[in-house]
Amino acid sequence: MSPIVKLLAQRIALSLLLLLLISVVIFAGTIVLPGDVAQSILGQSATPEALANLRAELGVNDPPVQRYFAWLFGAMQGDLGTALTSGQDIAQALSSRFWNTLFLAFWAAVVAVPLAIFLGLLAVRFKDRWPDKMISAVTLASISIPEFLIGYVLMYFIAVKLRWFPSVAMVNDSMGLFDKLNAIALPIAVLTLVVLAHMMRMTRAAILNVMQSAYIETAELKGLNAFQVIYRHAFPNAIAPIVNVVMLNLAYLVVGVVVIEVVFVYPGMGQYLVDHVSKRDVPVVQACGLIFAAVYIGLNMIADIVAILSNPRLRHPK
């Protein structure tokens, strides 16, 4: 087996182990949560009989270890159980929500990642001059403002005053791609503003770091212009940290957009999770936790693998 395959296999095995450990943590965490699912479902209108009936029906009295393994084996086979509150199949209910979340994250990434990298390169090219300073100022300002505030501001000016794009990002299956993109224009804009600075700064820092190397000087001496030096020599060597930060931000776009989903009424996973947390619907919370963990670990694994593949020293270890 070539060392690179072995290295990759190790990475993937480690990721799976990590996911397994996280599943234990998620399960244990949701077990120790205070509160009573039956009370949460029935709310103020709960009577003692109704509570007892509901608790028995939900089967919340089995031993935890038994419930953990039943849940784990089910999850491995794609069976995430049924929601306590609505009795729906979780995997089915989640899939459309998950695709919606990925859809939004994907288009936000399509806008944000190239823009961030381009702005980062631009900032390096004009280091310490006005374009660099302006890019830094604007992106840092946008990351410093809470995202819901950016959301409200854009909503007020662009949706209510100018009426360019809708304020409610409602998508459904009967809409065409163009309609969907029109509906999610505002959330994409907000998400882009939120993740831009982090990626841009990292691109700038990583490339500037490489720019101090001797081979960059060589490249300059052999007569390449500034952009070619960055593009041909600096960027490939700075790719590992950039991919790392891009992946972190992609993970954020998938798992961290609850606030944006609520503000723009977007039917993604975040809103789904929040509704079920407030109703103590543990199976759904567990399923969402597991999926979020898998996304996070998966994206970080990809970042690791890209770092390995892009680095000759890691590719050919002595």
Partner 1 sequence: MNRHMQYLASQAAAGKLSRRDFLGKAAALGFTAVSANLLLSTAAKAAGPQKGGTIRLGLQGGSTTDSLDPALVTNTVGLMVTRLWGETLVELADDGGIEGKLAESYEASADAKTWTFKLRSGVTYSNGQNVTADDVVKTMERHSGEDTKSGALGIMRGIKDVRADGDSVVFELDSPNADLPYLLADYHLIIQPNGGNDDPAAAIGTGPYIMKSSDMGVRFVAEKNPNYWGDLGNADTVEIIVINDDTARVAALQSGQVDVIDRVPPRTAKLVDRAPNITVHSTSAAGHYVFIMHCNTAPFDNNDVRMALKYGINRQEMVDKILNGYGTVGNDTPINASYPMYTELEQRQFDPDKAMHHLKKSGHDGSILLRTSDNSFPGAPDASALFQQSLSSAGIQLDVKREPNDGYWSEVWNAKPFCTSYWGGRPTQDQMFTTAYLSTADWNDTRFNNEQFDQMLVAARGELDVAKRTQMYADMSTILRDEGGLICPMFNDFVEATTDKVDGFVEGIPGQVLMNGYAASKLWVKA
CB of 54 to partner 1, least distance (A): 6
Among 238, 255, 276, 304, binds partner 1 (CB under 8 A): 276
Look at residue 208 and give its three-state secondary structure. helix
Cβ atoms of 229 and 216 closer than 8 Å: yes
Among 59, 76, 77, 163, binds partner 1 (CB under 8 A): 163
Q: Which residues pair with 206 in a beta bridge?
A: none
Cβ atoms of 196 and 142 closer than 8 Å: yes
87: left (phi over 0), alpha (psi -120 to 50) or beta: left
* Residue whose entry in the numeric block shows the structure tokens 């999926």: 291
Total residues at interface with partner 1 (CB under 8 A): 44
Distance CA 198, CA 146 (A): 15
CB of 51 to partner 1, least distance (A): 9
CB of 25 to partner 1, least distance (A): 21
Which element (helix H / strand E) includes 275? helix 269-278
* Residue whose entry in the numeric block shows the structure tokens 């390995």: 308
> Which range binds partner 1 by CB under 8 A, 103-111, 129-137, 215-223, 259-267?
259-267
| 120 versus 268: smaller Cβ distance to partner 1 | 268
Binding mask 49-78 for partner 1 (x = CB under 8 A): xx--xx------------------------
Which of the 8 DSSP states describes residue 248?
Answer: H
User: Which residue ranges make up the site for partner 1 (CB under 8 A)?
Assistant: 34-36, 39, 41-50, 53-54, 83, 85-87, 93, 152, 155-156, 159-160, 163, 166-168, 170, 172, 262-265, 267, 271-272, 275-276, 278-279, 281
